[in-house]
Structure 1
Amino acid sequence: MHIEVMGQYEIVLEAYANLANTGWQPFVTIYRGRSTSRRSLCVVQRQQVQIGAPARSRDQAIEAARAFAAQRIAARRL
C-alpha cells in the first residue's frame, strides 16, 4: 500500500495479485484532507481500477492506480 498526497487530496494506492496469480489488480481510495485526521472526508471509496489486462507487476498496478487518481482529481470527478 502506498499513500501519496496530490494537492489537498490523499490517495491510497493498493495492488493485489489476482486469484490465478497471473497479474496484479490496482485499487484506489481518495480522501480530501489526511486520512488520519478527524476532518478528512473519503471522496472515492476503495475501488478497483479497470485496466485492459492485469498489470504484469505490482509497480505497474500502483502506477495505473496513481494515473486513475490523478485523472479523477484533475477532472474534479469526485
Structure 2
Amino acid sequence: MNERFYIQGIECYPDNTVQIYNRWGVLVFERDHYNNTDVAFRGISEGRVTIKESNGLPEGTYYYIIKYKDHQSNPHQEAGYLYLTK
C-alpha cells in the first residue's frame, strides 16, 4: 500500500510544482520542489478544505497537475487522476 503519491522520475526535475484538486476543483495540495520523500502528498489536505488534518482527505478520485522545467528550462506539464483509498 502506498502512503504517498509517488511520481516516478520527479527527482530529475527539482524545479517542479505539484497541485492536487478534489472532484469539485478545490485545490487540496500544492507544493514546489516535490521529491517523493519529505515533500510529498500523503492524503492530507493542505488547502482550503473543512476537514481536520488528522482525519485526512476522504476516499475518492483526485486530479493532479505536475508542472516542471527540463534541464534547458523548457516548461512541461503532466496531468491525470489518482484514487485515494484508506
Q: TM-score, normalised by structure 2?
A: 0.28
- Which structure has more helix as a fraction of its residues? 1
Q: TM-score, normalised by structure 1?
A: 0.29
